[in-house]
Chain A
Amino acid sequence: MRGQFVKSTENLMEHDSRVMLLLGDISVWPFRHVRTKYPGRVFNLGVCEQAMAGAAAGLALEGYRPIIHSIAPFVTERIYEQVKVDIAYQNLPVRIVSIGASYDYAASGYTHFCPGDVAIMKALPNMAVVVPGTAQEFDYFFQALEGPAYFRLASQCHHHGSMARIAVNRGPTVVIAVGPTLDLVLEAARDLPVTVVYYAVVAPFDGKDLNWICRDDDHIVLVEPYNAGGLVLEIQEALHRPVKITCVGVRNPKGAGWPQDHDTATGLTVENVRKVIEQNLA
């Protein structure tokens, strides 16, 4: 998805002279052509993430449309107070784009993991949170949302071009798949009597469709690529009634290795998700 990020940024810059890109010494090489094409609009601000966020706020206060970018923990957790006060509270048009997601940089170890980013970013006022499942999805929301908005790029994509909310409609058990987990969920749910509902935008959460999708006695299986249970409150509030929600998502990753190692350890596998769905069939 980083390739799409470069293209989408270039496209935005072509059509809007207010768009600026601030990099935290990450993705500098992929953006080299954009930097050449738009001199004075792409800045590598080094490893000064908090100041990068503050500068973005200053740019936005003056009418510009800055984008800030780094690896997920460094552009969310590390700069959280600047995002909270300078960007989100002041409702400024800043796009925050991360790479790395929960553990795409698995080999780098825990300091580069960020399964908690979605929870903290969606807790902020005015902040849209997008967990795109495909490069095209990212491009669509990136062009549409000026900010404040957080875009969580992952190395995994699903392969279903449609952004349709309901991916599969075969039965009463509802499985909610977020972002890149859609492939995994559809494979796990193969031949099972389930309805798969897909979300890429987790904040603001649009739960109105869930009311007619979910019957009174439905169990819901929620599959997320970040800390498990992130959307439980939103789902409960959308349905206006208690509902059993079984969550599959990231839980306390540790170690290094490959992302697949962590998927296995945390249960984000076809086998485990299928088992959970079968346990919750209506």
Chain B
Amino acid sequence: MDRDTNLNHLKRQIVQCAYDAHEGHIPSSFSALDILWVLYDRIMRLEGPKRDRFILSKGHAALALYVILAERGILSAAELNSFATYAGLAGHPDLGTPGIETTTGSLGHGLAIGVGMAMCLRWRGINRRVFVLMGDGECNEGAVWEAALLAAHQRLDSVTCIVDHNHSTDLKVGVGDLTAKFRAFGWQARETDGHCHSSLQRLLARPGFYMPTAIIAHTTKGHGVERMEGNPEWHHKVPTAEEYEEIMEELA
């Protein structure tokens, strides 16, 4: 398997879904995609009660998760094509959808839910991990830091929180040095390039020792499409027909 897999085919699917549905957060999905790919392709055990748990706490990156679940056969093509329809896949993950552990979408909820799951796994003696993917904007939420306090207090070393730090907060309420913040809360924390599969794999492969782990993954919002990269206009924008053609060609 290539160390860094080209994920343009998944990015094209994300754009297709968003274009068809007139809905979706494409740049946020692009910034999270490599992290999700490494988790689902190289790190996590996915099935059964002794599976690893994954929570997409930055729920608006749902399209990234959906295309990966479809690639793995957990979601069908029909389900993927039902994105944002009345009875289909929701714009944010919903409990009841195959492969989704909990409903997310309102930022700040996922880490605490992951804390609860990790407590259970420990009581049951199940040596599996809980991964929670958040965004840097999400780290504005007070609930995130309550959960961080509890995870460290409980010494939940099965919890790994990845922050998809695409620096969208640099133009708003900055989150500062997240690595230092997590360490101050009693976590071990590392930084990496969030688009480098080998580096992500190396950091994700190892759980923490007697403390939870935070991985601050520096990414580019809209990674791979020049007009989207770092452009706040595209946060919740759906391409026009002309833009769609140009973007798909760029991702070919």
A interface residue numbers (CB < 8 A to B): 40, 45-46, 48-64, 66, 81-82, 85-86, 89-90
Contact = CB atoms under 8 A, between A and B. Distances in A.
Contacts of B119: 55, 58-59
A81 B95 CA distance: 16
Chain A: interface secondary structure?
Answer: helix
A53 B113 CA distance: 8
Interface string B107-149: 0111111111111110100000000000000000011001101
Contacts of B146: 48-51
B150 A64 contact: no
Nearest to A49: B146
Chain B: interface secondary structure?
Answer: helix
B97 interface: no
A54 B149 contact: no
A64 B112 contact: no
Contact of B109 (A48, A49, A85): A85
B106 interface: yes
Nearest to A91: B95
A57 B116 contact: yes
A55 B115 contact: yes
Nearest 8 pairs of A and B residues by beta carbon: A58-B116, A54-B112, A51-B146, A62-B120, A55-B116, A48-B146, A51-B112, A58-B113
B149 A57 contact: no
A86 B109 contact: yes
Contact of B123 (A40, A55, A81): A40
Contacts of A60: 116
Contact of B120 (A45, A59, A89): A59
A54, A89, A90, most chain B CB atoms within 10 A: A54
Contact of B143 (A40, A54, A57, A89): A54
A179 to B, nearest CB: 31
